[in-house]
Amino acid sequence: MSISLPTPTIQTPHVLCWLRRDLRLQDHAALHHALQSGLPVACVFVFDSTILDSLPADDVRVAFILDSLQSLQEQLRQHGSELITVHGDPVQQIPLLANHLNAQTVYANEDYEPAALTRDHAVSQSLAAQGRVLKLFKDQVIFARDEILTQQKQPYTVFTPYKRNWLARIQPSDIQAYDCSQGQWAPLPAQALPCLKELGFHEEARTKLLSPAGWQGAQTLLQQFEPRIHAYHERRDFPAKRGVSYLAPHLRFGTLSIRQAVALAWPSDSEGAATWLSELIWREFYQQFLWHHPETAQESFKPAYKNLPFPNRDDWFQAWKDGQTGYPIVDAAMRQLNQSGYMHNRLRMISASFLVKDLLIDWRWGEQYFAQKLLDYDMASNVGGWQWAASTGCDAQPYFRIFNPITQSRKFDPEGQFIRRYVPELASLDKQAIHAPWQAKQLPLAFRLGQHYPAPIVDHDTQRHLALALFKQAGEQEAAD
């Protein structure tokens, strides 16, 4: 893809603001500093071929990004500027563009994922070779990297004391919005945004999007959530209720600033707000943890569980992915993920636990599948969530506490409302039968288990004992070594 900029290289000095997982022009640390520089600011987004080339053509995230960029483009035009988009490897593209725009400094926000750290180091080196600078700013978290440590200056591996320290440290200045209203914008010739097809993706992917994209989309969701926040602690575990915020994609792509999100809940004036704030702190807990332990993206944190001998049956993995395990709550969850790119948090816990402790499949297989499908996929939270459910991570669920998918289903979807929405073949079953049709005393006459809906592929009690033995043996082995 080519960019239409005046050639040869622009003479007037500029600065470049490189947007990545921060697709907004409001309360944006890097943009604020770029605008403060006194030089005209040009904003760029790179469609990173090193990431996009490995994604399936129906990936829902690219549609979300494009819609968010469209909204950015409209806002930049109101400032008399344009969003530049390029397609390629940022390690080459950013220095080329900086050279073209005569930009001495490139401003961007920090990204703590292992691959992003490597990329930013390479871009920084490449810019330095041209005598230019990459300036990075903290933006996507309140506390980054090693800002919150134990008294012994060690990273936290347990959430509650981390949260206590986080709450003791936060000050009003930490959530003060960055002013992005003063400064000069680069007047640029009109830039056309690519469409999904040009990037190699299907237009239909957009129809899966449940969340409105862009900064405006985030503001709408935030406003809708504001009156609900006080009941969050009571409603958040019920997937059929509108109890949660649905803001995760916006926090992932930075169409919402974390400072604005935290400001909604801190200082907390209700149990609901305090519980929601806790979830935002979990996000930071996992981010700092991955930064300290990047190896946990690939391996279990607990040494005893690094080489658990999972049988890893391919046919069971396929049934789990397809929502065909015969366990209605798990199947409804997986179908929600496949259809929309979203899965409710309670269901992420149930379906992850089921994969590892009922189907005895390595948590990394599930983590990878979620990484492909989730609109809000975030490496730190996904790895953290999977290692929590698999009992292999920091501050994880103890291995002997195994979710019973039937009990969970009865508790958190008591009427079977959520199951009926995603598993329509069970719609005629009553609320007693729907959670475990094979145990029902009576089923509708027209319904045949095994024909209209699969019989359970495993027996929970049997698998539970196998899982307990597998973990116990690995623990004993470690102790003996």
Ligand X SMILES: Cc1cc2nc3c(=O)[nH]c(=O)nc-3n(C[C@H](O)[C@H](O)[C@H](O)COP(=O)(O)OP(=O)(O)OC[C@H]3O[C@@H](n4cnc5c(N)ncnc54)[C@H](O)[C@@H]3O)c2cc1C
Shortest reach from residue 374's CB to ligand X, in Å: 5
Shortest reach from residue 277's CB to ligand X, in Å: 9
Distance, in Å, from the CA atom of 144 to the CA atom of 288, rounded to the nearest integer, reads: 6
Catalytic residue check, 386: yes
Shortest reach from residue 352's CB to ligand X, in Å: 4
Which residue, 323 or 385, is less far from ligand X as judged by CB?
385
Which residue, 188 or 380, is less far from ligand X as judged by CB?
380
Angle between helices 345-353 and 379-389 (to 10 degrees): 50
| Structural tokens at position 369 | 């599948």
Q: Which of 266, 276, 282, 365 is catalytic?
A: 282
Q: Which of 166, 363, 365, 388 is catalytic?
A: 363
Q: Which of 215, 291, 386, 388 is catalytic?
A: 386
Catalytic residue check, 18: no
Distance, in Å, from the CA atom of 381 to the CA atom of 257, rounded to the nearest integer, reads: 17
3-state helix, strand, coil in the chain (%, to 5): 50, 5, 45
The contact set with ligand X (CB under 6 A) reads 236, 244-248, 251-252, 276, 279-280, 282-283, 286, 345, 348-349, 352, 370, 374, 376-378, 381-382, 384-386, 389
Catalytic residue check, 266: no
Which residue, 393 or 456, is less far from ligand X as judged by CB?
393
Residues 27 and 259: beta-carbon distance below 8 Å: yes
Distance of CA 155 to the CA centre of its chain: 22
Q: Which of 99, 338, 345, 404 is catalytic?
A: 345
Pure H helices in 79-210: 90-100, 114-129, 159-169
Catalytic residue check, 365: no
Phi, psi angle pair for 241, to nearest 5°? -100, 155
Shortest reach from residue 251's CB to ligand X, in Å: 4
The label of the residue with tokens 């297989």 reads 365
The label of the residue with tokens 């097809």 reads 197
Shortest reach from residue 245's CB to ligand X, in Å: 3
Catalytic residue check, 438: no
Strand (E) or helix (H) holding 84: strand 83-88
Catalytic residue check, 345: yes
Which residue, 352 or 433, is less far from ligand X as judged by CB?
352
Shortest reach from residue 232's CB to ligand X, in Å: 7
Q: Which of 279, 299, 404, 425 is catalytic?
A: 279
CA distance to 62, 85, 287, 295, 382, per residue, from 54 (Å): 12, 20, 24, 21, 19
CA distance to 318, 323, 425, per residue, from 453 (Å): 16, 10, 7
Q: Which of 316, 320, 365, 388 is catalytic?
A: 316
Which residue, 13 or 161, is less far from ligand X as judged by CB?
161
Distance, in Å, from the CA atom of 95 to the CA atom of 124, rounded to the nearest integer, reads: 9
Shortest reach from residue 381's CB to ligand X, in Å: 4
Going across the sheet that includes 103-109, the strands are: 83-88, 41-48, 14-19, 103-109, 133-137
The label of the residue with tokens 């929600």 reads 336
Which residue, 212 or 385, is less far from ligand X as judged by CB?
385
| Closest residue to ligand X using C-beta atoms | 385
Which residue, 120 or 237, is less far from ligand X as judged by CB?
237
Burial of 17 (0-12, 13-18, 19+ CB in 10 A): buried
Q: Where in the sequence numbering do the catalytic residues fall? A: 279, 282, 316, 345, 363, 386
